[in-house]
Amino acid sequence: MFGLIVILLGIFVGFRGYKRIDRLRKYEFEHTTDGGVVQFESYENSKKHESGKAIGKIIIYAGILIFWIGFFMLLL
């Protein structure tokens, strides 16, 4: 039973990471110039955007890891 809770937690964490990246992709889509360049107000905002994408990927991978841990807990 505890393994099922861990699986659901993994799905939730992975979904949160996906939504984070999706929100950043939407920003890129809305702020892309005709030349194909994403425009930011400052260099700091650009760095924050890039680190947000990296954190989103880490959250997705953490969700996948948590999911598989829960799956193997069910098998034991």
How does residue 76 score in pLDDT terms, banded at 50, 70 and 90?
Answer: confident
Q: Please name the residue that has the structure tokens 């999706």.
A: 22
Is residue 37 a contact partner of residue 5, using CB atoms and an 8 Å limit? no
State mean pLDDT over 6-27. Answer: 97
- pLDDT score recorded for residue 1: 86
Q: Determine what percent of the chain is predicted with pLDDT higher than 90.
A: 93
| pTM for the predicted model, two decimal places | 0.86
Q: Where are the chain's structural domains? A: 1-14+48-76
Positive or negative torsion for Cα 57, 60, 62, 64: negative
> pLDDT tens digits, residue range 44-74?
999 999 999 999 999 999 999 999 999 999 9
